[in-house]
Amino acid sequence: MKKYITIASILVFLSVSVIFAQNTSTGVNFLKVPIGPRPVGLGSAFTGVADNVYTIYWNPAGIGFLRRWEVSAMFNKYFADMYYSAVSGVKQFNWLGSRKTAIGVGLLYHGMPEWDATEAGSAQKGSASNMLGVISFGQRLDWLTPKLSLGMNAKIGYSKLLDRDSKIAAVDVGVMFRMKVFENMLTLGVAAQNFGFQTAYINEKDPLPMGARAGFSYRFLLCPNHRFLFAADVSKFKYSNMKFGFGAEYWFRNLIGIRGGYMMNSEDLGDIAFGATIGLDAFNNGVQFDYAQRDFGEALGFTREGAVSIYTVTPEPFHLKHAYTTPQHCYFDSVKLSWEDAVDPDECDQIHYRVLIDKREENVVDAVKEIVANTKEKSKQVLLDLEADQNFLKVSQLDPGKYTWTSIAVDRAGHARRANELASFVISAADIEIAKVSFIPSHNLAGDEDNYQGRIKIVINNKGGCECESFRVVLSDSFVCDGSKKIAQEFVISKIRPYRSVEKYFSWKTDRTGIHHFSVIADPENKIYELNEGNNAGKCEAVTIPRGVIYADRDTIRSSKIVYGYSEFPVVPIVFFEPGNATVEPDFYVPSTIYPT
């Protein structure tokens, strides 16, 4: 008798598997148990809905369409004191050419209290449990079409019964297509589940409950307050009959949702289900409390489950794109700013943008914080706080200079998200800069008779993106000793191309010795529209060259003694003649030197 009691106790735990695997020979049939209060409340018609974190267990492709992140915990109280609990989460990234690459994780536990099992005259505690870990990957194929998403699950778990256990390894794959039809949302989903293996409790292995499911949903969007959903599913698992599920749901904004569902040809006896949701917003995040109840008939009664979920309600992340400047006269006075569309996960929500512009980056950063805290007020931190309904904005009549900008997406409820980066642009114009003023002294230390001191060198840059044409340059000379000042040179620069330089040299002559200060100013009338008017001047210091005079003693000659002498020098002329000629040719002269004897 005790032996049969033990067997009966085990069968109580296995009743769920029996219910979900009637007329089958598959193992670990807890894999077929519907997970999540909302899917259960829709009559298990969730393959083509898959719009919350529990899509991990229904169609992994659905996580490619979820919000940026979501976490949830659920508890399901079954009959005979059995229970299900699950913790799940999804996070999305901008990877692999898509704005929605998602990774999800789930941990599912199925258990029941221990029982006293009696066998062979001895009593022992009996226990049984199932555990499953899921890693999910979903990818919306933005590079092909943002309407299509693919997904895959890797599942590892175990099933324990008394002192026996069995290991589980399986994969799921899914595909989902979502598009607008008549301003409403149509979603199609297909998933294949539980392809893998299970080790045997004793000797013989049971196959996993492999199967496939397909479904669709259609959302009627009566924005902004009302939404209706109709969903249908068909599923077929190994050794089980085909099942059909239908569900309907109504939402008032994101605050209250009610739903009901029905399963046809259900072998698990749970034909009718219904559920409800209450939602709240808090600090750019949403909180939902879900409840579902399923009828298993008079014999088993109702099962109840609940979940709490937390998720972001802000618009999706987006990037800034370009800042195109447009020419006007001799400078660029306007700019067209553009960015990616910021998508809100709520189909009924509308997004507008706040564009912040300032010459100081820290002002933009402070304004972002201010707006995220209170999106209704204009920011006083920045030069411009503009609004746009589309993903671009043209801004005109800006002064030249470098600006920092960003865009903030704000939905109807005031939830805000800044673009992923700050960017900058330049309103271009000419920019005259006196780069260098220097004195090159003369090499003549003593100076010239015209008081030449050397040369003054002036280097003028155009640091802007436009040409500088026909502007005046004035070189002034200030004499430090008496404070007087005069214009030393005045000339006109005809043209300097963008980002080029010119050099000018001028001779400096002065008879006023001492320290001189030279100052140069370009475009003193401010005729040129410039990026920076503060770099149009330059200066240098010069010291006149000392005029040296050389003084030397006068040479004098003095006779100290006079001596007279007498000398005779014999002179013997030697003359050559041509034969027969009395004339002496010059070639026959013999030079000689007479030396005193």
Domain final residue pick, 427, 450, 480: 427
Listed residues 507, 528, 543: the one ending a domain: 543
Q: Measuring CA to CA, how many Å separate 100 from each of 63, 121, 170, 241, 520?
A: 9, 61, 25, 36, 59
Give yes or no: residues 120 and 249 share one domain. Answer: yes
The domain in which residue 119 lies consists of 29-312
**Percent of the chain topping pLDDT 90:** 47
CATH number at residue 388: 2.60.40.10
User: Residues 358, 333: one domain?
Assistant: yes
* DSSP classification of residue 484: E
| Mean predicted lDDT score pLDDT of the chain | 84
Indicate if 347 and 272 belong to the same structural domain: no
Please report, rounded to a whole number, the percentage of residues in the chain having pLDDT higher than 70. Answer: 83
pLDDT attached to residue 597: 44
Between CA 17 and CA 32 the distance in angstroms is: 9
Q: Do 294 and 334 fall within a single domain? A: no
Q: Is the pLDDT of residue 64 over 80?
A: yes
Residue 328 has pLDDT above 50, yes or no: no
Predicted local confidence at residue 234, as pLDDT: 95
Q: Is residue 453 part of a domain?
A: yes
Same domain as 84, residue 35: yes
The pair of three-digit structure tokens given for residue 173, joined into one six-digit string? 């794959």
- CATH value at residue 304: 2.40.160.60
- Give pLDDT, residue 59: 96
Residue 495 within any structural domain of the chain: yes
Same domain, 172 and 306: yes
Residue 380: pLDDT over 70? yes
**218 against 578, higher pLDDT:** 218
| Candidate from 13-22, 172-181, 338-347 with smallest mean pLDDT | 13-22
Separation CA 276–CA 305 (nearest Å):
11
Do 135 and 102 sit in the same domain of this protein?
yes
Convert the pLDDT of each residue in 260-275 to its tens digit. Answer: 999 887 565 568 899 9
pTM: 0.69
Residue 23 located in a structural domain: no
Chain-centroid distance of CA 237 in Å reads 44
Positions of E strands within 46-163 = 69-77, 83-95, 98-111, 115-119, 122-126, 128-140, 148-161
Q: Answer whether residue 438 is part of any domain.
A: yes
Q: Which residues contact 143 (CB under 8 A, 6 or more apart)?
A: 97, 98
**Residue at 34 is within a domain:** yes
Q: Looking at the 3D structure of the chain, how many domains does it have?
A: 3
Is 587 among the domain residues? no
Q: Is residue 331 part of a domain?
A: yes
Q: Is the pLDDT of residue 54 over 80?
A: yes
Q: Which residues contact 564 (CB under 8 A, 6 or more apart)?
A: none
Same domain, 252 and 137: yes
Mark residue 329 as left, alpha or beta (left: phi above 0; alpha: psi -120 to 50; beta: remaining). left
Last residue of a domain, one of 385, 411, 427: 427
Evaluate whether residue 498 is within a structural domain: yes
Least confident among 120-129, 187-196, 395-404, 508-517:
120-129
> Is residue 348 located within the same domain as residue 495?
no
Strands 432-441 and 484-496 come out as unpaired
Mean pLDDT for 393-412 is 88
What's the CA gap between 405 and 239, in Å, rounded? 62
Residues 6 or more apart in contact with residue 348 via CB below 8 angstroms:
221, 223, 224, 227, 253
- Residue 452: pLDDT band (50, 70, 90) is confident
Q: What is the pLDDT of residues 527-568, one digit of tens each?
A: 888 878 889 999 999 998 876 666 667 777 777 787 877 777
| Domain co-membership, 348 together with 457 | no
Same domain, 94 and 151: yes
Does residue 168 sit in the same domain as residue 248?
yes
